Structure 1
Amino acid sequence: MGTSDADRIRLLGRDLTAELMGQVSFAELAYWMVTLRRPNPGQTRVLEAVLVALADHGFTPTAIAARVTYLSAPDSLQGAIAAGLLGGGSRFLGVTEDCGSYLHEALEAYGGPVPSDDAGWDALALETVRTTRAAKRFVPGLGHPVHKQGDPRTPVLVGIARDADCYGPHLALFEAIGRVHDQVLGRQLPLNGAGVCGAALADIGIPVPMLRGFALLARCAGLLGQLAEEQRRPIGMDVYLTVDRNATYVEPELDN
């Protein structure tokens, strides 16, 4: 991947200082390092949009974990960031990977040529949701605890992907699921931002097993911002005291 000697640093077969620094964006470099392909301008634009979309979402568990860890160990910025990143799971951030993987598996199981119109995508989406429901599984990317009437990131990212000529089968199937899932689930749920990010990343060629890594890359920037704010306007102690002072102790039921 990279190497160095006394005079030069090489990365991806290029001279770091002469060919990469000042000429390649960080998002472009991350894509290149993971896929071993340099992204085109459209792919870079979509990736940049995804990283911005996933950077921060307020006082999520990942942000709270980072701030409280920083309260406990202000000498360990890396520990606070790590604490926040470790919380990237099936409910927060991990949905990006879960949704991208779900869509990818559905497309592989379908196997045929991709539909050419919305009606074809809707039929495939309906069958996909029915199969998921029959297996008693959740459809990842549906619903949001805050944006119950629609995640504002979803239409914007879809629009960027279309404009960048990066709208592919994962986004097409995801949008179709958004149109038809209520026929199976009995209620209308919004397509959330983490899910649409997974679909977009898959469409620009990010390997499915690496999708969560890009969500974590984005959130790392958000956690840096949270911790910078914690230094300026600390709330970690308030969080700790609120929990500690308001918790009700319940005696454990012990076996005699």
Structure 2
Amino acid sequence: MPEPRYATALGASDLTSITLLGHDLARDVMGNVSFGELAFWLATQRRPSRGETRVFEAVLAALADHGFTPTAIVTRLTYLSAPDSIQGALAAGLLGGGSRFLGVTEDSGRFLHSVLAALPGALPTDHAGWDELALETVRREREAGRFVPGLGHHVHKEGDPRTPRLFEIAAEENLLGPHLSLFAAIGRVHSDVLGKTLPLNGAGVCGAALADLGLPIELLRGFALLARTAGLVGQLAEELRRPVGKQIFLSVDSNNRSVAPEPYLVDPLGEPPA
């Protein structure tokens, strides 16, 4: 019985060579292709243009590190607990990339993509058309009691500095597509529905930019995690030079207080208490 064959257009090797995406890894890729360009190429199996690489790498830079976020703290604390497990510390931080931190990139991209995919006709062609679509979108989400992903930021309440810069870079490279156009329109009109003005956050605009690059919607969080991996390596490098993990642990340990147990009761229907 013949051995099974497993097709791949990615990496393959034999006794004397390694190929990647159909190219000789050592001769054609190493020293000639940036890591960001390669990551894009691996995900799409097409080599990005210079402009696409610039926008993609701007997104990676925007998402790499945000200081002492939960993902950074858990990475440092895991390293404190298991300094022999760098991979464990990195994994701990990456596993914390969810709906509140990092996941907004995916949530925003998916949301915008779903709105655009549901349009019965052609895309808007001017600001007025995009604003009308954005108003309909925000009203629908408000009536359904749902939040619009990418609106608001817990720190940058007056405006996320990453947002205008990403729009600027995309426009410079003629890559300001429908996802970014809809997101920008949401930023212009949402206050008419919500009665308050919220900033478009950087993670949300990153999701819109990645979707406009034609990257798989299902992988948007993966690109955010790729960016954050670099940030977490930086967090560990700083922890080696200026450790704070033990201080964080001791601060919590020395400031805890004992309280009486509060049993969690569930009624017969399985509903939690009000």
TM-score, with normalisation over the residues of structure 2? 0.91
Alignment partner for residue 23 of structure 1, among 32, 35, 38? 32
Alignment partner for residue 244 of structure 1, among 250, 253, 271? 253
* Aligned-residue offset at 1:251: 2.0
Give 2:149's aligned residue. 140
Q: Is the counterpart of residue 201 in structure 1 residue 210 in structure 2?
A: yes
* Aligned-residue offset at 1:136: 1.4
Give 2:3's aligned residue. none
Give 1:44's aligned residue. 53
Q: Which amino acid aligns with 2:21?
A: L
* Aligned-residue offset at 1:254: 4.9
* Aligned-residue offset at 1:155: 0.1
Q: Is the counterpart of residue 160 in structure 1 residue 154 in structure 2?
A: no
Q: Which has the higher mean CA deviation after the structures are superposed, 89-98 or 18-27?
A: 18-27
What's the CA shift string for 1:108-130, capped at 9, x where partnerless?
11232111111110000000111
Alignment partner for residue 229 of structure 1, among 231, 238, 246? 238
What's the CA shift string for 1:83-105, capped at 9, x where partnerless?
10001001100000000000000
CA distance in 1, matches of 2:261, 2:173: 58
CA distance in 1, matches of 2:159, 2:262: 44
Q: Is the counterpart of residue 122 in structure 1 residue 131 in structure 2?
A: yes
Q: Which amino acid aligns with 2:117?
A: E
CA distance in 2, matches of 1:67, 1:31: 29
| Structure number with higher relative contact order (C-alpha < 8 Å, ≥ 6 residues apart) | 1
Runs of 4+ in 1 over 2 A off after TM superposition: none
Unaligned runs of 5+ in 2: 1-9, 265-274
CA distance in 1, matches of 2:218, 2:186: 22
* Aligned-residue offset at 1:185: 1.3
Does the residue aligned with 1:187 lie in a helix, a strand or coil? coil
- Closer, same or farther: CA 117–81 of 1 in aligned 2, 3 Å: same
TM-score, with normalisation over the residues of structure 1? 0.98
Unaligned runs of 5+ in 1: none
* Aligned-residue offset at 1:38: 0.8
Alignment partner for residue 43 of structure 2, among 26, 34, 40? 34
Q: How does 1:46-125 map to 2 (within 5 A)?
A: 46-125=55-134
CA distance in 2, matches of 1:247, 1:137: 36
CA distance in 1, matches of 2:129, 2:258: 56
CA distance in 1, matches of 2:184, 2:88: 38
Give 1:6's aligned residue. 15
Does the residue aligned with 2:118 lie in a helix, a strand or coil? helix
Does the residue aligned with 1:10 lie in a helix, a strand or coil? strand
Q: Is the counterpart of residue 180 in structure 1 residue 185 in structure 2?
A: no
CA distance in 2, matches of 1:45, 1:254: 54
Question: Alignment length, in residue pairs?
Answer: 255
What's the CA shift string for 1:175-224, capped at 9, x where partnerless?
00001111111111000000000000011111111100000000000000
CA distance in 1, matches of 2:73, 2:65: 12
- Aligned-residue CA RMSD in angstroms? 1.0
- Closer, same or farther: CA 126–254 of 1 in aligned 2, 3 Å: closer
